[in-house]
Structure 1
Amino acid sequence: MKRRDFVGLTGLAAGSLLLPSIPGFGSGLLVSPERLLEPGLDVALKKRLADVALNAAKSAGATYADVRIGRYLNQGIFTREKQVQNIASSESQGVGVRVIANGTWGFASTNQITDEGIAKAAQLAVAIAKANSKVQKEPVKLVPQKGYGTVSWKTPITQNAFEVPIAQKVDLLMETNAKALAGGASFVNSALFQVNEQKYFASTDGSYIDQDIHRIWPTFTVTAIDRASGKFRSRPSMSASMGLGYEYLTPSAKEKIAGPAGSDVIGYKQRYDILEDVTNATKQVKQKLTAKSVTPGKYDLVLDPHHLGLTIHESVGHPLELDRVLGYEANYAGTSFADLQWKAKNIPYGSKAVNIVADKLQPGSLGAVGYDDEGVKTKRWDLIKEGKLVDYQKIRDQAHIVGQNESDGCCYAQSWQDVQFQRMPNVSLKPGKAKLSVDDMVKGIDKGIYIAGNGSFSIDQQRYNFQFGGIVFYAIEKGKITGMLEDVAYQANTQEFWNSCAASCDESDYRLVGFFNDGKGQPSQSSAVSHGSATTRFNGVNVINTARKIG
C-alpha cells in the first residue's frame, strides 16, 4: 500500500486481505498473538552479532560499515458490521549490512541470524560495493558522525497495545460498529493496526544503539445509502495514526478540540474517542446525502489540521527532500520545483505567516525516534521561516552537497531487509503566536469553506500544481457556518497556495495527523510520518465542483 492508496485503505472493504498490504505487515510470518510478547534477542547478543558483521566487512575491504538487527512485530484486527473479518499477527526479523568499499555503497541482508550468516551478508555487501564501484563516477562522501557508544531509546508509551487482550480490542471495534448501525449507517467497518519495531544499529563509527518503537492506528469507515435514489456517501474516521501505545484509545475530554460552531467537527490530540467519532460520523454521513453541491469560485478556506496534514505532506514535505531536489529521486512521484537555484533566488515559498519545521523529536508523532538508521541523533530544524525556504532534509552522503557538515538524521529503511535512504521527517506548520480560536477565524470570513479530513488528491511530478479534496465541508457566509457542502476540491500551485496563508490558530488548537504508509523509492519502501498544525486560513483559493461535467 502506497501513499496514494491511503484514502482507499480507509474503506477496508476487504479486511481479511488487507494485512499483507500494509507497510510493515507484508514481509513477516504469521504468528500467534502470544509470540508478540516474547522478548527478542538479548542486547548483549545483538552487540556481539553486530561486531561479527562489522569485523567481517572491514576484513573484506570496507572503509565504513553499519549493521541493523531488526525485529518487526505487527497486529491487525479487521471487523465489519457485526462480525470479525480477520485477526492477524506477524513477525519479521533479520539483519541488514551496509558498507562503503572503493568509495561505493554496497548492501546485503539475511534472515540467518548466526555468526556465519551475518558474516556472509557482510562479505556480500562488500563484494556488491566493489562491483558497483566500476561505474561509480564520484566516491561517496559522508559528513562526520561521532559514535555514541552504547545507548538506547524507547517510545514513551504507558500501555503496550500487544499486551491488551485481543478480546478487549475486538469488543471496542464491535461497539464502534454497533453505534454506527444504531445511528442509521448502512455499512460500517473498523480496524486497529499496531506496530512494534525493535531495532539495533551499530557502525564502525562506534555506535551501538538499541531502540524500541511503537505505533498505533485505529480507523473506521461509515457508509449511508439513500435507497430511493441509490446515492451513497462515506465518512472515514478522524483518528490519526500515532507513535503511542494503547493509551491513545483512552478518551480524555481535555484532548478534544471542537471545530467552528455549527460544523459538528471534533478533533483529537493524543487521546482519541473512537465511539464519539463514529457517532459523529454517522450523523455527518447522513447529512452528506442531502448537502448542497458547492458553487465553483474563489473562497477563503479554513483548513482543519486533520485535512491540512496531507497538503503539508505533498506540497512541503516531499519537495524539500534533498534527493528529489538533486534529481536522485525522480521515478517515484517526481523531483521538486524547489531546487537549489530556486532557493538561491530567495523566492517566497509562502507568506510571512508560514513557519514550517522538520522534527524527529515530537512526542506522540509517528516519526519520533532517538536515532536514525545511520546512527545520527535526531533533531528539530527550520525548513521555511517567515515564508522563506531556509533548508532541506538531508542525510550523511548529501549534506556536503549543500555545504553543510552534519546529517539531519532522516535516513531510514522500512525493514531489516531494505537499504536505508533519505525519508521525510515529521514536517509541521507552527501555530500562530497570537491568541486565535477557530470561531474567531471564521468570524472574519465573508465567503469561505471549512474543510476537515483527508480526501482525494493529485499533485504533479514537480510537487507544484495540485488539487485536494476532504471528508466534510461547511459553507461559511458572513462569519458563520451555514450548512454542509459536498463535491468540494481546491486547486492551486504550491507557491500561490502558501502565499495565500493568512493566519493559523494558536497552540491550543495544534494537532497531529499521521500516515502509516508514505511511499518512496525503487524498489518502493513505506515509512510512517506525522504532520502537525493548528487550523489555518488561506485566502482566495480556487474551488471546483468535483461532480460537475465539463462541456
Structure 2
Amino acid sequence: MKRRNFVQLSGMGAASLLVPASMMGNVIETEALLEPGMDVAIKKKMADVALNTAKSLGASYADARIGRYLNQYVFTREDKVQNVVNTESFGIGIRVIANGTWGFASTNSVTEDGIKKATQQAVAIAKANSKIQKEPVKLAPVEAYGEVSWKTPLTKDFKDVPVSEKVDLLLSANAAAMDNGANFVNSALFMVNEQKYFASTDGSYIDQDVHRIWPTFSVTAVDRSAGKFKTRQAMSAPMGMGYEYMDGLASEKMEGPAGITLYSKSYDIVEDAVQAAKQAKEMLTAKSVDPGKYDLVLEPNHLGLTIHESVGHPLELDRVLGYEANYAGTSFATLDKWKSGDFKYGSDLVNLVADKTQVGSLGAVGYDDEGVKTKKWDLVRNGILVNYQAIRDQVNIIDQNESHGCCYAQSWNDVQFQRMPNVSLEPGKEKYSIKDMIKDVEKGIYIAGRGSYSIDQQRYNFQFGGTIFYEIKNGEIVGMLNDVAYQSNTQEFWNSCAKLCDEGDYRMFGSFFDGKGQPSQVSAVSHGSATSRFNDINVINTGRTI
C-alpha cells in the first residue's frame, strides 16, 4: 500500500478499514458528487483518440474505458459520527492487442495528448510482451452495438439524499440498539456510483451509470459478570439499487423462524438493530451446540456466502486452468469433470445459474467491461456441471464462441479480467415455505446470516459459521444455539441438498468487496437463493478445545 493511501485510510477510523485502498480516489466535497462530469460526446471523441492511435501503431484491436468513480462512506459509533468521506476517481484505461499480445496502460490525463501517450505505451507493452507470447490471443466475436446506454434502475440517487439524513438514520439505528440492551454498536453506509464509458474498434460506444449500496452494522452485548460478549451483524445485503433500499417497506420483508425479520428489496436498519440487540443478549445465555450430524436449514443471507466460495470461485475458468492461483488458489472443478458430462456437482434439485442481468443485484450491468451484452447461463443443471464463467479470450478453451459477458475492472487504471457474475441457486418449483421446511426436520439447525469461514486452495473442503443459530427438534424451533459451524466438501455438501423453498422466499446476499487477482482487485457480486435444506451435515462446536 502506498503511504498516501495508508494516510487516507487511517484517517477514517477503524470501521473504514473495510474499504480497499483501490476504492478511495481523491477526497472531494459532498457537493462535487452532483457535478455532471464529462459530456458523452466528449467521451466519444477522447475514446476515438485512443482507438485511432492504437490502429495507427499496428494494433489489431483496442478498447478504451473512461471511468468516473464516485463513492460516499458514512461511519458512526454509538452516538457519534466517526467520519463521512466522499471520493472521486477519473481517468482512462486503454487495452490493445498488438502482435497477438495484450498491452494495457492508463492515465488520469484525459486529454488528446495524455491519451495518445498512454496508448503508445499500451502498444509498446504489447509488442514487448509478444516476444515471449507462445500463442496469439483469440477473441470471441462480439456484436457492434453502436452508441448505447444503460443505467441501474433506481428511484433515489444517493447523491441527492442529504448527508444529514443518512447520518440521522445510522444514529437512530445505533440508539435503537443501545435502548434494547446493546453495549456497543458500529454502523456504516457504503454508496458507490460507477460512471463508465466503453469504446472499442469493434464498433461499440457504451455509456453506463451503475449504482450500489450497502448498509451494515455490528451490535455487541456484554455480560460483565461472566466476562463474556456476543456480537450480531446486520441482516442487510449489499444491493445494486439506489437509496430506496433504505425505505424499509413492510411489503418487502417477511417474518422468518423465531421472529427474525427477513429483508429483500428494501431494508429497515432501525428494526434490524433492535432485533440485533435482543438477539445478542440472548446469545449470552444460549446453550452451546452438541457436535454431530444435523439437517441444516440455511436462509439466503447465509447460503449466499457458501455459494460464493464453493460455486462462484471454483467455476471461474481462469482459476480452473490455474491462471489464477495467487489469490485463494485454483479449483477442484477441472476441465475433465466438465468434459465427462456427468459430474455430479450436486443433487438433482441443484440448479446454479450465472446472471449479469438480475435486477437489484450487485453484478447487474447492461454490458461488461469489454463491451459484451450481459446474459444469464447455466453452471450446474439438475446437479450436473455444464459450464464455467469465461470472457472473450477464454471461451475458445472450452470450445465456445461467445463470451459470457463477465469481464470487469475495479477502476479505469486497472486492466479488466474475468470476474464472478451473480451466481445463484434457483428456488424450488413447488410451493414450499420456511415454516413447511422447519416442520419437516426432526433434528436440525436453522442458520441465518454470515459468519467466519474457511475453504481450501481448491475450493473443496470447507467450514462455515453464521450469525445466529436455532435448534430444531421434531419440527419446531426450541431455542438459540452458540458455537455452531458446519464442515463438508463442495461435492458432498451440494449433493446433500434435499429441499428448496419456492420463489416467494427468494432473496439475495452480496459481497461488496470480493477480491481476486495479483495485483488484487475488488468487485461486487450477488448470490440469490431461497431457504434450503441440506441433510446429515457434520456440525462442530467452535467453543470447545481438544
Shorter-chain TM-score bucket reads over 0.9
**CA offsets, 1:432-460, max 9 Å, x none?**
00000001001111100000000000000
User: TM-score w.r.t. structure 2 length?
Assistant: 0.97
Alignment counterpart, residue 287 of structure 1, candidates 276, 282, 296: 282
Tell me, yes or no, if the aligned pair for 1:399 and 1:406 is still in contact at 8 Å. yes
Amino acid at match of 1:431: P
After TM superposition, list the pairs within 5 Å mapping 1:457-536 onto structure 2: 457-536=453-532
Query: Could you tell me whether the CA contact under 8 Å between 2:10 and 2:17 is conserved in 1?
Result: no
Which of residues 68, 82, 89 is equivalent to 2:65? Answer: 68
2:305 alignment partner AA: L
Amino acid at match of 2:507: R
CA distance in 1, matches of 2:38, 2:89: 13
Q: Percent identity?
A: 69
- AA at the equivalent of 2:129: N
2:204 pairs with 1:203: no
1:270 corresponds to which letter in structure 2? K
Give how far 1:125 is off: 0.3
Instruction: Select 2:262's aligned residue among 263, 267, 272.
Output: 267
Equivalent residue for 2:432, pick from 426, 432, 436: 436
Give the structure 1 partner of residue 104 of structure 2.
107
Distance in 2 of aligned mates of 1:500 and 1:385: 16
> Deviation of residue 26 (structure 1)?
3.6
Structure 1 ranges of 4+ moved more than 6 A:
none
Once the two structures are TM-superposed, the CA of residue 37 in structure 1 deviates from its matched residue by: 0.6
The equivalent position to 1:141 in structure 2, one of 106, 119, 138, is: 138
Between 146-155 and 343-352, the greater mean CA deviation after superposition: 343-352
Deviation, structure 1 residue 148: 0.3
Question: Aligned partners of 1:535, 1:14: CA distance in 2, in Å?
Answer: 41
In structure 1, stretches of 5+ residues that fail to align are 2-11
Residue 166 of structure 1 corresponds to 163
SS at match of 2:119: helix
Deviation per CA, 1:368-391: give whole Å up to 9, x if none.
Answer: 000000000000011110100111
SS at match of 1:135: coil
Q: Describe the SS at the equivalent of 1:458.
A: strand
| Contact residue 15 and residue 79 of structure 1 kept, 8 A | no
* Matching residue within 123, 146, 154 for 2:151: 154
Equivalent position of 2:242 in the other structure: 245
Partner residue of 1:41? 38
Aligned mate of 1:183, from 177, 180, 185: 180
Kindly provide the amino acid, as one letter, of the partner of residue 365 in structure 2: V
Q: What residue number does 1:409 align with? A: 405
Q: How does 1:15-54 map to 2 (within 5 A)?
A: 16-19=13-16, 21-23=18-20, 26-54=23-51
Q: How many residues align structurally?
A: 538
| TM-aligned CA distance change 1:14 to 1:389, over 3 Å | farther
- 1:298-337 to 2 correspondences below 5 Å: 298-337=293-332
Root mean square deviation, CA, Å = 1.4
Q: CA deviation at 1:16?
A: 2.2
- State the partner residue of 1:117: 114
Distance in 2 (CA, whole Å) between partners of 1:18 and 1:517 is 14
Counterparts in 2 of 1:317-396, with a 5 A limit?
317-345=312-340, 346-396=342-392
Task: Write the deviation string for residues 323-361 of structure 1: whole angstroms up to 9, x where unpaired.
Answer: 111111111111111111012232200001100110001
**Superposed CA offset, 1:264-285 (max 9, x none):** 3221111101111111111100
Query: CA-to-partner distance for each residue in 1:226-277, whole Å, 9 max, x for gaps?
Result: 01011000001000010001100001112112222xx232211111011111
CA distance, structure 1, for counterparts of residue 406 and residue 97 of structure 2:
19
Q: CA deviation at 1:13?
A: 12
TM-score, normalising length: structure 1: 0.96
Question: Does the Cα contact within 8 Å between 2:15 and 2:186 map onto a contact in 1?
Answer: no
CA distance in 2, matches of 1:82, 1:64: 55
**Where does residue 5 of structure 2 map in the other structure?**
none
Q: Is the 8 A contact 1:19 1:26 kept in 2?
A: no
Matched with 1:5 is: none
Q: Residue type matched to 2:63 in 1?
A: D
Q: Aligned letter for 2:192?
A: V
The answer as to whether partners of 1:463 and 1:494 remain within 8 angstroms in 2 is yes
